[in-house]
Homo-oligomer: A and B are copies of this chain.
Amino acid sequence: MDTANLSSQSQLSSLFSLDFVKMLLRGAGQVMFQNNIWTGLLFLCGIFWGAYAEGSGLVAWGALVGLFTSTFTGCVLDMSADDGKNGLWGFNGILVGCAFPTFLGSTVFMWIGLILCSMLTTVLRTGFNNIMAAWKINSLTFPFVFSSWVFFLAARLMHGIPTEGMATPGLINHFTSSIDLSFFSLVIYWLKGISQVFLIDSPITGIFFLAALFVNNRWSAMWAAIASALSLFVILIFQGPGTDIASGLYGFSAVLTGIALGSIFYKVNPRTAIWTLIGIVITVFVQAAMNSLFEPLGLPTFTGPFCVATWLFLLPLFKFDKHDPDHSIWHRKEH
Protein backbone atom coordinates (compact mmCIF):
# COMPACT_ATOMS: atom_id res chain seq x y z
CA MET A 1 0.00 0.00 0.00
CA ASP A 2 1.29 3.41 -0.89
CA THR A 3 1.94 5.94 1.77
CA ALA A 4 0.73 9.16 0.30
CA ASN A 5 2.50 12.02 1.92
CA LEU A 6 1.55 15.27 0.30
CA SER A 7 4.27 17.24 2.06
CA SER A 8 7.07 14.70 1.90
CA GLN A 9 10.48 15.80 0.72
CA SER A 10 11.83 12.30 0.26
CA GLN A 11 11.24 11.99 -3.44
CA LEU A 12 10.72 15.62 -4.28
CA SER A 13 14.36 16.20 -3.45
CA SER A 14 15.39 14.22 -6.50
CA LEU A 15 13.45 16.57 -8.75
CA PHE A 16 15.45 18.24 -11.52
CA SER A 17 18.31 15.83 -10.87
CA LEU A 18 19.67 13.41 -13.46
CA ASP A 19 17.68 10.63 -11.76
CA PHE A 20 14.51 12.52 -12.48
CA VAL A 21 15.43 12.86 -16.16
CA LYS A 22 15.98 9.09 -16.25
CA MET A 23 12.54 8.55 -14.71
CA LEU A 24 11.06 10.69 -17.47
CA LEU A 25 12.87 8.84 -20.26
CA ARG A 26 11.94 5.44 -18.85
CA GLY A 27 8.37 6.75 -18.60
CA ALA A 28 8.36 7.45 -22.32
CA GLY A 29 9.77 3.99 -23.00
CA GLN A 30 7.19 2.23 -20.84
CA VAL A 31 4.39 3.23 -23.23
CA MET A 32 5.58 0.18 -25.17
CA PHE A 33 6.80 -1.69 -22.06
CA GLN A 34 10.47 -0.72 -22.55
CA ASN A 35 12.34 0.11 -19.36
CA ASN A 36 15.21 1.82 -21.15
CA ILE A 37 16.27 5.46 -21.30
CA TRP A 38 17.58 5.24 -24.87
CA THR A 39 14.30 3.77 -26.06
CA GLY A 40 12.51 6.61 -24.30
CA LEU A 41 14.80 9.16 -25.90
CA LEU A 42 14.25 7.73 -29.38
CA PHE A 43 10.48 7.73 -28.77
CA LEU A 44 10.67 11.43 -27.90
CA CYS A 45 12.75 12.11 -31.02
CA GLY A 46 10.11 10.31 -33.09
CA ILE A 47 7.34 12.32 -31.45
CA PHE A 48 9.09 15.64 -32.07
CA TRP A 49 9.89 14.75 -35.68
CA GLY A 50 6.36 13.56 -36.40
CA ALA A 51 4.59 16.38 -34.59
CA TYR A 52 6.51 19.07 -36.45
CA ALA A 53 6.26 17.14 -39.73
CA GLU A 54 2.46 17.13 -39.48
CA GLY A 55 2.50 20.81 -38.52
CA SER A 56 1.32 20.34 -34.94
CA GLY A 57 4.43 20.83 -32.86
CA LEU A 58 2.30 21.47 -29.77
CA VAL A 59 1.66 17.72 -29.61
CA ALA A 60 5.33 17.15 -28.79
CA TRP A 61 5.39 19.85 -26.14
CA GLY A 62 2.15 18.48 -24.71
CA ALA A 63 3.87 15.10 -24.46
CA LEU A 64 6.66 16.64 -22.39
CA VAL A 65 4.22 18.46 -20.12
CA GLY A 66 2.12 15.32 -19.56
CA LEU A 67 5.20 13.18 -18.93
CA PHE A 68 6.59 15.67 -16.44
CA THR A 69 3.27 16.29 -14.63
CA SER A 70 2.34 12.65 -14.11
CA THR A 71 5.85 11.74 -12.92
CA PHE A 72 5.96 14.80 -10.68
CA THR A 73 2.60 13.75 -9.18
CA GLY A 74 4.05 10.38 -8.24
CA CYS A 75 6.89 12.16 -6.43
CA VAL A 76 4.58 14.58 -4.61
CA LEU A 77 2.33 11.74 -3.46
CA ASP A 78 5.47 9.88 -2.40
CA MET A 79 4.25 6.69 -4.04
CA SER A 80 6.23 3.47 -4.48
CA ALA A 81 9.80 4.51 -5.31
CA ASP A 82 10.28 1.30 -7.27
CA ASP A 83 7.48 2.27 -9.68
CA GLY A 84 8.91 5.74 -10.08
CA LYS A 85 12.42 4.56 -10.83
CA ASN A 86 11.10 2.25 -13.54
CA GLY A 87 9.13 4.97 -15.33
CA LEU A 88 5.69 3.67 -14.39
CA TRP A 89 4.30 7.10 -13.48
CA GLY A 90 5.06 8.75 -16.80
CA PHE A 91 3.75 6.49 -19.54
CA ASN A 92 0.08 7.39 -19.06
CA GLY A 93 0.87 11.08 -18.74
CA ILE A 94 2.88 11.30 -21.94
CA LEU A 95 -0.06 9.80 -23.84
CA VAL A 96 -2.43 12.35 -22.28
CA GLY A 97 0.01 14.99 -23.41
CA CYS A 98 -0.06 13.69 -26.99
CA ALA A 99 -3.85 13.34 -27.06
CA PHE A 100 -4.96 16.77 -25.83
CA PRO A 101 -3.29 19.00 -28.45
CA THR A 102 -4.13 16.49 -31.19
CA PHE A 103 -7.89 16.73 -30.67
CA LEU A 104 -8.50 19.89 -28.62
CA GLY A 105 -7.90 23.56 -29.37
CA SER A 106 -4.98 25.21 -27.59
CA THR A 107 -6.55 27.47 -24.96
CA VAL A 108 -5.26 28.07 -21.47
CA PHE A 109 -8.11 25.87 -20.19
CA MET A 110 -7.08 23.02 -22.47
CA TRP A 111 -3.60 23.17 -20.90
CA ILE A 112 -5.06 23.25 -17.39
CA GLY A 113 -7.14 20.23 -18.37
CA LEU A 114 -4.06 18.48 -19.75
CA ILE A 115 -2.23 19.00 -16.47
CA LEU A 116 -5.19 17.87 -14.31
CA CYS A 117 -5.72 14.83 -16.52
CA SER A 118 -2.03 13.84 -16.39
CA MET A 119 -2.06 14.11 -12.61
CA LEU A 120 -5.21 12.02 -12.48
CA THR A 121 -3.59 9.15 -14.41
CA THR A 122 -1.03 8.61 -11.65
CA VAL A 123 -3.81 8.39 -9.05
CA LEU A 124 -5.99 6.14 -11.20
CA ARG A 125 -3.14 3.78 -12.01
CA THR A 126 -2.71 2.93 -8.33
CA GLY A 127 -6.44 2.47 -7.85
CA PHE A 128 -6.98 0.38 -10.98
CA ASN A 129 -3.96 -1.80 -10.21
CA ASN A 130 -5.33 -2.40 -6.70
CA ILE A 131 -8.48 -3.86 -8.24
CA MET A 132 -6.79 -5.78 -11.02
CA ALA A 133 -4.05 -7.33 -8.92
CA ALA A 134 -6.62 -9.86 -7.68
CA TRP A 135 -7.18 -10.90 -11.29
CA LYS A 136 -3.41 -10.98 -11.89
CA ILE A 137 -3.53 -8.37 -14.63
CA ASN A 138 -2.28 -4.80 -14.90
CA SER A 139 -4.16 -1.62 -15.77
CA LEU A 140 -1.80 -1.07 -18.74
CA THR A 141 -2.55 2.30 -20.40
CA PHE A 142 -6.14 2.33 -19.16
CA PRO A 143 -5.55 5.20 -16.68
CA PHE A 144 -4.67 7.36 -19.70
CA VAL A 145 -7.66 6.04 -21.65
CA PHE A 146 -10.20 6.46 -18.86
CA SER A 147 -9.15 9.89 -17.67
CA SER A 148 -8.88 11.19 -21.23
CA TRP A 149 -12.40 9.92 -21.97
CA VAL A 150 -13.59 11.90 -18.94
CA PHE A 151 -11.94 15.14 -20.06
CA PHE A 152 -12.80 14.75 -23.76
CA LEU A 153 -16.46 14.05 -23.02
CA ALA A 154 -16.51 16.93 -20.54
CA ALA A 155 -15.00 19.25 -23.16
CA ARG A 156 -18.16 18.79 -25.30
CA LEU A 157 -20.02 20.72 -22.60
CA MET A 158 -17.31 23.31 -21.91
CA HIS A 159 -16.67 26.15 -24.31
CA GLY A 160 -13.38 26.67 -22.51
CA ILE A 161 -11.93 23.55 -24.18
CA PRO A 162 -12.67 23.63 -27.92
CA THR A 163 -13.34 20.16 -29.37
CA GLU A 164 -12.46 21.24 -32.90
CA GLY A 165 -10.24 18.23 -33.61
CA MET A 166 -12.75 15.62 -32.42
CA ALA A 167 -15.11 13.83 -34.80
CA THR A 168 -18.66 15.10 -35.10
CA PRO A 169 -21.03 12.82 -33.20
CA GLY A 170 -23.07 10.82 -35.68
CA LEU A 171 -25.21 7.75 -36.03
CA ILE A 172 -25.02 5.87 -39.29
CA ASN A 173 -21.66 5.59 -40.91
CA HIS A 174 -21.40 5.81 -44.67
CA PHE A 175 -17.81 4.94 -45.29
CA THR A 176 -15.79 3.80 -48.24
CA SER A 177 -13.34 0.96 -48.12
CA SER A 178 -11.51 2.18 -51.21
CA ILE A 179 -7.83 2.69 -50.56
CA ASP A 180 -4.61 2.81 -52.55
CA LEU A 181 -3.08 -0.68 -52.39
CA SER A 182 0.30 -0.07 -54.06
CA PHE A 183 3.23 -1.65 -52.23
CA PHE A 184 4.65 1.73 -51.30
CA SER A 185 1.33 2.85 -49.77
CA LEU A 186 1.02 -0.36 -47.80
CA VAL A 187 4.45 0.25 -46.28
CA ILE A 188 3.35 3.76 -45.28
CA TYR A 189 0.17 2.44 -43.62
CA TRP A 190 2.21 -0.22 -41.87
CA LEU A 191 4.66 2.33 -40.43
CA LYS A 192 1.85 4.69 -39.44
CA GLY A 193 0.22 1.85 -37.53
CA ILE A 194 3.30 1.93 -35.33
CA SER A 195 3.65 5.72 -35.06
CA GLN A 196 -0.01 6.05 -34.03
CA VAL A 197 0.80 4.42 -30.68
CA PHE A 198 1.77 7.98 -29.69
CA LEU A 199 -1.01 9.46 -31.88
CA ILE A 200 1.54 10.50 -34.51
CA ASP A 201 0.64 10.18 -38.20
CA SER A 202 4.08 9.82 -39.74
CA PRO A 203 5.93 6.90 -41.35
CA ILE A 204 9.32 8.33 -40.37
CA THR A 205 8.19 8.32 -36.74
CA GLY A 206 7.24 4.68 -37.23
CA ILE A 207 10.85 3.94 -38.17
CA PHE A 208 12.09 5.86 -35.11
CA PHE A 209 9.81 3.75 -32.92
CA LEU A 210 10.92 0.45 -34.45
CA ALA A 211 14.55 1.46 -33.90
CA ALA A 212 13.76 2.49 -30.33
CA LEU A 213 12.22 -0.91 -29.63
CA PHE A 214 15.12 -2.70 -31.29
CA VAL A 215 17.61 -0.95 -29.00
CA ASN A 216 16.05 -2.56 -25.93
CA ASN A 217 14.21 -5.70 -26.99
CA ARG A 218 14.38 -7.26 -30.45
CA TRP A 219 11.32 -9.41 -29.85
CA SER A 220 9.29 -6.32 -29.07
CA ALA A 221 10.45 -4.70 -32.30
CA MET A 222 9.61 -7.86 -34.23
CA TRP A 223 6.14 -8.16 -32.72
CA ALA A 224 5.41 -4.47 -33.35
CA ALA A 225 6.29 -5.01 -37.00
CA ILE A 226 4.27 -8.23 -37.27
CA ALA A 227 1.25 -6.80 -35.44
CA SER A 228 1.04 -3.71 -37.63
CA ALA A 229 1.28 -5.86 -40.78
CA LEU A 230 -1.20 -8.50 -39.61
CA SER A 231 -3.77 -5.96 -38.41
CA LEU A 232 -3.44 -4.13 -41.72
CA PHE A 233 -4.08 -7.39 -43.57
CA VAL A 234 -7.13 -8.27 -41.45
CA ILE A 235 -8.84 -4.88 -41.70
CA LEU A 236 -8.16 -4.76 -45.45
CA ILE A 237 -9.75 -8.13 -46.20
CA PHE A 238 -12.72 -7.32 -43.97
CA GLN A 239 -13.00 -4.00 -45.87
CA GLY A 240 -12.87 -1.40 -43.12
CA PRO A 241 -12.84 2.38 -43.64
CA GLY A 242 -10.11 3.33 -46.12
CA THR A 243 -9.19 6.70 -44.64
CA ASP A 244 -8.70 5.34 -41.14
CA ILE A 245 -6.70 2.38 -42.40
CA ALA A 246 -4.42 4.70 -44.38
CA SER A 247 -3.70 6.70 -41.21
CA GLY A 248 -2.72 3.59 -39.26
CA LEU A 249 -5.74 3.81 -36.96
CA TYR A 250 -6.35 0.06 -37.06
CA GLY A 251 -2.71 -0.65 -36.27
CA PHE A 252 -1.68 1.05 -33.03
CA SER A 253 -3.77 -1.03 -30.60
CA ALA A 254 -2.72 -4.24 -32.33
CA VAL A 255 0.93 -3.17 -32.12
CA LEU A 256 0.63 -2.80 -28.36
CA THR A 257 -1.20 -6.14 -28.03
CA GLY A 258 1.53 -7.79 -30.08
CA ILE A 259 4.34 -6.37 -27.94
CA ALA A 260 2.51 -7.13 -24.69
CA LEU A 261 1.48 -10.72 -25.41
CA GLY A 262 4.38 -11.69 -27.66
CA SER A 263 7.36 -10.27 -25.83
CA ILE A 264 6.42 -9.05 -22.34
CA PHE A 265 3.81 -11.10 -20.49
CA TYR A 266 4.65 -14.47 -22.02
CA LYS A 267 8.00 -16.07 -22.68
CA VAL A 268 8.74 -16.25 -26.38
CA ASN A 269 7.98 -19.73 -27.73
CA PRO A 270 5.95 -21.21 -30.60
CA ARG A 271 2.78 -21.64 -28.55
CA THR A 272 2.78 -18.12 -27.14
CA ALA A 273 3.46 -16.89 -30.68
CA ILE A 274 0.24 -18.52 -31.94
CA TRP A 275 -1.61 -17.05 -28.94
CA THR A 276 -0.23 -13.61 -29.76
CA LEU A 277 -1.21 -13.84 -33.43
CA ILE A 278 -4.80 -14.65 -32.44
CA GLY A 279 -4.73 -11.80 -29.93
CA ILE A 280 -3.65 -9.38 -32.67
CA VAL A 281 -6.48 -10.49 -34.95
CA ILE A 282 -9.05 -10.09 -32.18
CA THR A 283 -7.65 -6.62 -31.37
CA VAL A 284 -8.65 -5.48 -34.87
CA PHE A 285 -12.27 -6.45 -34.17
CA VAL A 286 -12.21 -4.81 -30.75
CA GLN A 287 -10.80 -1.66 -32.38
CA ALA A 288 -13.57 -1.58 -35.00
CA ALA A 289 -16.20 -2.33 -32.34
CA MET A 290 -15.07 0.52 -30.11
CA ASN A 291 -14.85 2.93 -33.06
CA SER A 292 -18.44 2.00 -33.84
CA LEU A 293 -19.54 2.23 -30.20
CA PHE A 294 -18.10 5.73 -29.83
CA GLU A 295 -19.47 7.20 -33.06
CA PRO A 296 -22.57 8.68 -31.41
CA LEU A 297 -20.19 10.47 -29.05
CA GLY A 298 -17.47 11.44 -31.53
CA LEU A 299 -14.98 10.16 -28.98
CA PRO A 300 -11.59 8.59 -29.82
CA THR A 301 -10.95 5.09 -28.44
CA PHE A 302 -7.33 5.95 -27.61
CA THR A 303 -5.54 2.71 -26.70
CA GLY A 304 -8.70 1.27 -25.12
CA PRO A 305 -8.94 -1.61 -27.65
CA PHE A 306 -5.41 -2.70 -26.77
CA CYS A 307 -6.27 -2.79 -23.06
CA VAL A 308 -9.50 -4.74 -23.59
CA ALA A 309 -8.03 -7.27 -26.01
CA THR A 310 -4.88 -7.82 -23.97
CA TRP A 311 -6.88 -8.32 -20.77
CA LEU A 312 -9.11 -10.85 -22.54
CA PHE A 313 -6.05 -12.87 -23.52
CA LEU A 314 -4.34 -12.61 -20.11
CA LEU A 315 -7.37 -13.21 -17.86
CA PRO A 316 -7.71 -16.95 -18.53
CA LEU A 317 -4.26 -17.31 -16.90
CA PHE A 318 -3.32 -20.07 -19.32
CA LYS A 319 -0.03 -21.71 -18.46
CA PHE A 320 2.21 -21.77 -21.51
CA ASP A 321 5.28 -22.79 -19.55
CA LYS A 322 6.12 -24.09 -16.09
CA HIS A 323 5.47 -20.85 -14.22
CA ASP A 324 2.16 -19.94 -12.64
CA PRO A 325 1.16 -16.87 -14.58
CA ASP A 326 0.91 -13.47 -12.90
CA HIS A 327 0.44 -10.61 -15.34
CA SER A 328 0.00 -7.84 -12.79
CA ILE A 329 3.58 -6.58 -13.10
CA TRP A 330 5.96 -6.36 -16.04
CA HIS A 331 8.66 -3.87 -15.18
CA ARG A 332 10.80 -6.22 -13.12
CA LYS A 333 11.45 -8.25 -16.23
CA GLU A 334 14.12 -5.82 -17.41
CA HIS A 335 15.79 -6.67 -20.70
Q: B-contacting residues of A (Cβ < 8 Å)?
A: 1-7, 77, 109, 113, 116, 119-120, 123-124, 126-128, 130-131, 134-135, 149-154, 156-161, 168-173, 175, 177, 235, 237-241, 271, 274-275, 278, 281-282, 284-293, 296-297, 311-320, 324-325
- In the assembly, what is the distance between CA of A175 and CA of B177, in Å? 35
Closest-by-CB residue of B relative to A286 is B150
**A4 with B316, Cβ < 8 A, contacts A158-B238, A240-B157 known:** yes
- Contact: A288 with B154, CB < 8 Å? yes
What chain B residues lie within 8 Å of A284 (beta carbons)?
154
Option from B6, B161, B291, B313 in Cβ contact (under 8 Å) with A157 = B291
- In the assembly, what is the distance between CA of A127 and CA of B312, in Å? 7
- Contact: B319 with A128, CB < 8 Å? no
**A297 with B292, Cβ < 8 A, contacts A77-B318, A319-B3 known:** yes
Q: Which of A126, A287, A313, A315 has the most CB of B within 10 A?
A: A315
With A130-B135, A171-B171 known, 20 other A-B pairs at CB within 8 A are A2-B319, A4-B320, A7-B271, A77-B318, A109-B239, A116-B282, A126-B316, A126-B318, A127-B312, A134-B134, A153-B289, A154-B286, A154-B287, A157-B240, A159-B238, A159-B239, A161-B238, A169-B172, A171-B296, A293-B297
What chain B residues lie within 8 Å of A157 (beta carbons)?
173, 175, 240-241, 288, 291-292
- Contact: B4 with A128, CB < 8 Å? no
- Contact: A151 with B285, CB < 8 Å? yes
- Contact: A239 with B158, CB < 8 Å? yes
What chain B residues lie within 8 Å of A119 (beta carbons)?
278
What chain B residues lie within 8 Å of A2 (beta carbons)?
316-319
